[in-house]
């Protein structure tokens, strides 16, 4: 009986969350972002972001602001033939935001691959675009 009461309370609390976009729109932005890395498609990735988007990767480094700066960042990444293989672990959506846990396997021809466990916080704007993306990973995340 106790769990039922707690579950009811938690559902009521979740019901008070305000959002400008649906959970499906938030998930679509997250999945589109991960797919764009898998498909090596910077154009598709860029289309997911607001014009004035802010990207912190990892949090604590200088933020990348705006689509032009994002494309410049991605071009540096694309300068070396690299394959990215994201594997989604979990998406938690609260309002216009999501906390996403995934692993990213990175392979560069001629070198051993690397896997990074990443947590990312996505904030989606009213148009369904990524307005702010914050990546959390540290030296213990890289294997």
Distance separating alpha carbons of residues 118 and 112, to the nearest angstrom: 19
Model-level pTM? 0.91
**For the segment 28-47, what is each residue's pLDDT rounded down to a tens digit?**
999 999 999 999 999 999 99
Tokens of 84: 């990215």
What domains appear along the chain, each with residue ranges and CATH number?
19-141 (3.10.450.50)
**Within a 10 A sphere around the Cβ of 93, how many other Cβ atoms?**
21
Tokens of 82: 């690299």
Tokens of 70: 């994002």
Angle at 115 between CA 109 and CA 118, to 5 degrees: 135
Which of 75 and 63 is assigned the larger pLDDT?
63
> Is 45 in a helix, a strand, or coil?
helix
Asked if the model's pLDDT at residue 1 lies above 60, the reply is: no
């Amino acid at each position: 009986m106790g769990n039922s009461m707690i579950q009811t309370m938690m559902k009521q609390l979740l019901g008070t969350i305000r959002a400008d976009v649906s959970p499906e729109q938030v998930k679509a932005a997250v999945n589109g972002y991960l797919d764009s890395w898998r498909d090596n498609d910077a154009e598709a990735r860029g289309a997911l972001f607001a014009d004035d988007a802010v990207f912190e990767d990892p949090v604590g480094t200088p933020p990348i602001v705006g689509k032009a700066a994002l494309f410049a960042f991605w071009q540096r990444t694309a300068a070396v033939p690299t394959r990215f293989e994201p594997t989604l672990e979990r998406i938690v959506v609260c309002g216009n935001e999501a906390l996403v846990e995934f692993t990213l396997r990175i392979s560069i021809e001629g070198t051993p691959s690397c896997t990074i466990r990443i947590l990312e916080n996505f904030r989606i704007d009213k148009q369904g675009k990524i307005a702010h993306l914050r990546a959390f990973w540290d030296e213990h995340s890289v294997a």
